[in-house]
Copies of this chain bind each other. A is one copy, B any other.
Amino acid sequence: MTTATPTHFTAVPLDKAYRLLNHGPTVLVSSAHMGVSNVMAAAWSMPLDFDPPKLTVVIDKSTLTRELVEGSGQFALNIPSRALAAQTLAVGTDSARVVPDKLKKHGITTFAARQIVAPLVLGCVGWLECRVVPEPHNQQTYDLFIGEVAAAWADARVFHEGRWQFDQAPDDLRTLHYVAGGQFYVIGESLLVG
């Protein structure tokens, strides 16, 4: 973990935090507990409430991330862009249980969050620092976690005035939307209706 923060790192007002996830990007879940940290990919997350902002994410029982999230009661959702596609696939494929140095192996660099112990992933374009809203039945039965957003951040080149602005930024900053088998779609053009 570096103490640096990324360039263009800008606070997102909490009442606009849901917009980071509203268009359905694939995310990286970062977590830390008792000196151990990890990052995994997740395609299954969504906003759950506006203000205070809440979100959901599915975290399988087999993962180290699950243990760290349940231990610490915290996690972050990091929104990777096209430039991080290979690393997103890699940390979604390798398990830290099998490849303990997977972050180093795949060149994932992290930096300190402000409200939680879980680190944030450098090179992403959005970040949501979350505290778990304990729902043991959902967690046990569905692997479903609810987080309340304590802080939200974005890369100001691509998210400003409370919304994504992909069309005015380099294509490498567009979000990733996973399908299967190593295939992503990159988010495309803006369409204003009405």
Contacts and interface: CB of A to CB of B under 8 A. Distances in A.
Among A56, A135, A177, residue most surrounded by chain B Cβ atoms (within 10 Å)? A177
A5 interface: no
Contacts of A85: 191, 193
A86 B146 CA distance: 32
Nearest to A189: B186
A24 interface: yes
Interface in A91-149: 135, 137-138, 142, 144, 146
Given A85-B193, A89-B193, A163-B180, A185 B23 contact: yes
A180 B191 CA distance: 11
A137 B23 CA distance: 27
A47 B44 contact: yes
Task: Give the oligomeric copy count.
Answer: 2
A156 to B, nearest CB: 17
A51 interface: no
A43 interface: yes
Contact of A146 (B43, B54, B142, B178): B142
Contacts of A89: 193-194
B177 A183 contact: no
A192 interface: yes
Interface in A30-65: 43-49, 54, 56, 58
A26 B188 CA distance: 14
Contacts of A188: 174, 185-189
Given A89-B193, A185-B190, 5 more contacts: A23-B178, A54-B142, A182-B192, A184-B191, A186-B188
